[in-house]
Amino acid sequence: MKKPKASTNGADGGAGLVCRLQSELSSKIDRLVGRAEKRITDVPGLTIVRRVKPTAPSCVTYEPSLAVITQGRKEVALGTRTFLYDASRYLLTSVDLPIVSHIPEASESKPFIGLALKLEPSVVRDLLSVAELPTWESPGDSPAMAIGKTTPEILDACRRLVDLVDKPREIPVLGGLIQREIVFRILQGPAGARLRAIATLGNQSQRTARAIEWIRTSFAKPLRVEELAEMAGMAVSTFHHHFRALTSMSPVQYQKQLRLQAARGRMFTEGVDAASAAFEVGYESPSQFSREYRRLFGQSPIKDVRNHRLSQSSATE
């Protein structure tokens, strides 16, 4: 591996600068989110979060994104792998991944504070074509999720991006530039190796990611692994290997999690009954849907919806 030179920022370039940037960013996010817990900002792709209570394990799908914590820590389970990140380490997701996330500790006196920034593949590809970047080792069989060091450069760019929430007129001009800088900073580190591979046309990771995208957008349709392998230009066994390497699950398991999460979302937000939600996401058997739903979420669809409504009612009282 060709190792890049370490950047030098003077005496204030170490822990002191990082702490100052984290403190500034935490204060900004704390003020902007307030009691809402989460705010989807007007800056494209930017969500800021403040939690004052630990969260139970939650099944969600992470899209290609950068997650930065300025206070607290978070655990993310992808298949059998667990990723722990905190104020010193960011989480990078390179393709859509069904995961289980959990904030183990947070309080009024010390809330969990962080941000998530959606990453655009077109920006990654453009930077790869014009920027001179370090050459890191191939990601091999590592998943499309990685932990990287939160550097002062990344924190500073995130701080300037969050600043734009208060300056809506500057978002169209500066938002894209700062996001581009953040992607550049990611690609400079070893955690960006998988993101780089997925954005490189013809790479096996990129071809596998194309099939992953098809499942994500067409999860209600019947899944034929042979057709996905052909889409990726691979033999079925090779495709299975690369798919599992990126997602830590098989194509069928991946589709199942997307279906169940989508059905749950419909029941929670639109009041759709379990049988209708099951058929809408591609299940032909309501009983199979209920079994698999219970296996993933720990309770039946009816009980899950009832508990969700009770929790929503208590939160508004």
Identify the band that residue 3 occupies on the pLDDT scale cut at 50, 70 and 90: very low
On whether the CB atoms of residues 258 and 60 are closer than 8 A, the answer is no
Shared domain for 156 and 296, answered yes or no, is no
Residue pair 181/127 in contact by the 8 Å Cβ criterion: no
Asked whether residue 103 falls in the same domain as residue 126, the answer is yes
Name the nearest CA neighbour of 245 among 201, 270, 217, 208.
Answer: 208
Instruction: Answer yes or no: do 161 and 300 share one domain.
Output: no
Domain count for the chain:
3
Check residue 316 and give its pLDDT.
52
The predicted-structure confidence for 182-219, as pLDDT tens digits, reads as follows 999 999 999 999 899 999 888 899 999 999 999 999 99
Round to whole Å and give the CA distance between 230 and 143: 22
| Domain shared by 160 and 41, yes or no | yes
pLDDT of amino acid 6: 44
In CATH, what number is assigned to the domain containing residue 261? 1.10.10.60
In whole angstroms, give the CA distance from residue 309 to residue 317: 13
pLDDT for residue 314: 60
Residue 56 and residue 129 in one domain:
yes
Q: How many whole angstroms separate alpha carbon 18 and alpha carbon 221?
A: 47
Of 134, 164, 199, the residue at which a domain comes to its end is 199
SS3 2: coil
Q: Could you tell me if residue 6 is inside a domain?
A: no
Q: In the beta sheet, which residues pair with residue 39?
A: 48
**Do both 113 and 170 map to the same domain?**
yes
pTM: 0.90
**CA separation (Å) from 154 to 69, 119, 213?**
12, 14, 28
Q: What is the DSSP string of 216-233?
A: HHSTTSPP-HHHHHHHHT
d(CA 86, CA 72): 6
**Residue 8 pLDDT > 50, yes or no?**
no
- What is residue 4's predicted lDDT score, i.e. its pLDDT? 47
Residue 159 shares a structural domain with residue 212: no
The pLDDT value recorded for residue 1 is 46
pLDDT at 312: 74
Domain membership flag for residue 274: yes
Residue matched to tokens 């009954």? 273
Q: Is residue 7 part of a domain?
A: no
- With respect to residue 1, please indicate whether it lies within any of the assigned structural domains: no
Side chain identity at residue 139, one-letter code: P
Pairing of strands 112-118, 46-51: antiparallel
The CA distance from 95 to 205, in Å, is: 10
pLDDT of 42 over the 80 cut: yes
- Compute the chain's Rg from CA coordinates: 21
Q: Is 16 left (phi over 0), alpha (psi -120 to 50) or beta?
A: alpha
Q: What are 212-257's pLDDT values in tens digits?
A: 999 999 999 999 999 999 999 999 999 999 999 999 999 999 999 9
| 84-111 confidence digits (pLDDT tens) | 999 999 999 999 999 999 999 999 999 9
- Tell whether the model's pLDDT for residue 7 goes beyond 70: no
The parent domain of residue 53 ranges over 12-199
Q: Are the C-beta atoms of residues 74 and 101 closer than 8 Å to each other?
A: yes
Strands (E) across 177-312 are located at: none
What is the number of helices (H) and of strands (E) in the chain? 12, 10
